[in-house]
Structure 1
Amino acid sequence: MDNISSIVLFTLTGLDESWTNRLIIFVFTLLGFILTVVLNLTLIVIIILQRSLHEPMYIFLCNLCINGLYGSTGLYPVFLYPLTGSNMISLSDCVLQIFVIMTYSLCEFTNLTVMALDRYMAICRPLHYQTVMTRVTIYKLLIFIWLLPCATTGLSISIMLRYPLCGSHIDRLFCQNWALIERLACQEDIVKHIVNGSFFVWFNSLVAFLIFSYVKIIVACWHSKKYQHTFMSTCLPHLIALVNFIILTIFDGMDSLFGHR
């Protein structure tokens, strides 16, 4: 049986299509990648050039776009590569893919959580907003947005790689941490419980804060027409993006855990 010392290549077996279908998927995926890059770059340039947008909410939105560029650059090329016919990937490249995809997802959620904090302060604590959301605070929150996902992902990957792997076939188009844990880890239960536990604490802490923030925001807006306009113009789009991201994350997690049994 193979273990981590002997496995240096993985086979990605998530796509079994004809060359015609591969070409169609490749073209649409490439167009999606180009569109994602152009839209994110456009928003970043607009926010940087317009001094009137140099407010905390738009700074965090700019950071969200930067993370979008980071995630799309890390995901789309590795998604396109197997469509060309090559389905082999080295262990080091696989680990790098996992790191990029996981940090992108966690950073997205953390950034949306910080944006909820900004809206909470602006609506529920307006008199303290300017004194709390200073430039120094914004820098600290930006560091937090990137540091927490990187630290969590790095810890999870280091724990995962401490245990031997008993396979080299990944039933995906790209490397995914759950694929290694659920399918290839020889000591699956041990690794799964450790990694799941760390993400359980992280995820539930942020969700609890999000629920608290938006309950407070909705209550404040319910009693003030002024804040109702603020909610509709800034909070509602953020809330829709947040709910959409959480739903997609849940479905992806369910598919990873139960869709390939």
Structure 2
Amino acid sequence: MISLNATFVQNMSIVHPEYFFISGLSGIPYSSYYYIFLFFSYFIAVIGNSVVLLVIALERSLHSPKYIGVFNLALADMGEANALIPNMMNIFFHSQYISYNACFSSMFFVNLFITLQSVTLAVLAIDRYIAICFPLRYHVIVNNTAMSLVFIILWAFATSLVGLSSSLMTRLSFCKTNVVENYYCDYAPVLEMACNDNSINTFMGNLVLALFFVVPMFIIFLSYMGILLALSKITTWEKRLKALKTCVSHLLLVISFFFPIICIFIASLITSFSQNARVITSSLSLSLPPMLNPIIYVLNTAEIRVIIRKLLKNRTVPIRKIISK
């Protein structure tokens, strides 16, 4: 066991290690190739989400409720990619040690942006439901002000609740070990290391899981049940497909985010994962959506494709004039 350089607080009853040791991948040959793959996924995620953010911010025709949601999703993707993957790369190339404060800061930011991804997908599902089921009232119910207010409330609520759950971890005493058997300071593995009463922390973890994962999945499910019911009342297949086509991008985003998490959860109930298998599967489930989301939206959204082509064309024309001179 790695020796603990501990400070004692609260009348010598709470043990806070100076550092945590992130175990990451261990004993896997050619594990460097996996980290190289993560680096490229990070590069694509940053570039792709930056393009989506800039296109939506600069193009006035995209200043609509739907794209306010897409903008927030890209912002959450960018935040998660920057909070998670560079720390994983640091473990491989630099050091597996992380300071006590940096551990819980990392926990806060990763969990915050993951929860924001989840609730944003739920808001976009409701947006699609209203657009298809109440098309004549859509612009009355959903507008830029209402959508912006919804996301301000969600960001404030998520920040408060995730911040509270992370800050409550500091009341725990880590006298068993300081080895985190994961690739970052994940909530559950760190909680398992505590040697005093962690019932409040367990409750907060379950509350965050319920509010920001179970509830959004339930909302998305109900929204698409309502959409399918509305589509069944449309007489022609052409109109059904046209309406359903507007949901394709969102459905792909939902699948890329929730499906890996659900599969890992079900698999963990059926069989036990080795540490390396758990690290690889969970890291892929969190690092791939930020990379795939901008690709999905650019490829499946005609408005964004047209605007990107227009911007590229406007850029290349002056360059051609300069070369011709």
The bucket for the TM-score relative to the shorter chain is 0.7 to 0.9
Deviations 1:156-196 (A, max 9, x none): 12333223223211112211111111234533555324421
Gaps of 5+ in 2: 7-12, 276-325
Of residues 151, 169, 175, the one that matches 2:185 is 175
Distance 1:116 1:199 in 2: 19
The count of corresponding residues between Structure 1 and Structure 2 is 259
Which runs of at least 4 in structure 1 moved beyond 4 Å after TM superposition? 1-4, 251-258
Distance 2:25 2:119 in 1: 32
Deviations 1:178-235 (A, max 9, x none): 1111234533555324421443244333333222211111111222243531222x21
Q: How does 1:119-130 map to 2 (within 5 A)?
A: 119-130=128-139
Equivalent residue, structure 2, for 1:250: 262
Structure 1 contact 22–84 (Cα < 8 Å) conserved: no
Distance 1:260 1:143 in 2: 40
Equivalent residue, structure 2, for 1:58: 67
Distance 1:6 1:181 in 2: 13
Q: How does 1:133-212 map to 2 (within 5 A)?
A: 133-166=142-175, 167-188=177-198, 191-212=201-222
Structure 2 contact 23–181 (Cα < 8 Å) conserved: yes
Structure 1 contact 22–83 (Cα < 8 Å) conserved: no
Distance 2:198 2:274 in 1: 15
Structure 1 contact 182–192 (Cα < 8 Å) conserved: no
CA change 1:84–1:202 in 2 (3 A) is closer
Of residues 13, 24, 27, the one that matches 1:14 is 24
Of residues 49, 55, 58, the one that matches 1:49 is 58
CA change 1:185–1:208 in 2 (3 A) is farther
Of residues 34, 40, 47, the one that matches 1:31 is 40
The answer to which of 246-255 and 100-109 deviates more is 246-255
CA change 1:105–1:253 in 2 (3 A) is farther
Q: Does 1:106 align with 2:115?
A: yes
Structure 1 contact 168–184 (Cα < 8 Å) conserved: no
Q: What TM-score do the two structures reach when normalised by structure 1?
A: 0.87
Gaps of 5+ in 1: none
Structure 1 contact 26–80 (Cα < 8 Å) conserved: yes
AA in 1 matched with 2:242 = H
For the aligned residue pairs, the C-alpha RMSD in angstroms reads: 2.6
Q: What TM-score do the two structures reach when normalised by structure 2?
A: 0.71
Q: Secondary structure at the match of 2:21?
A: strand
Give the percent of matched residue pairs that are identical in Structure 1 and Structure 2: 25
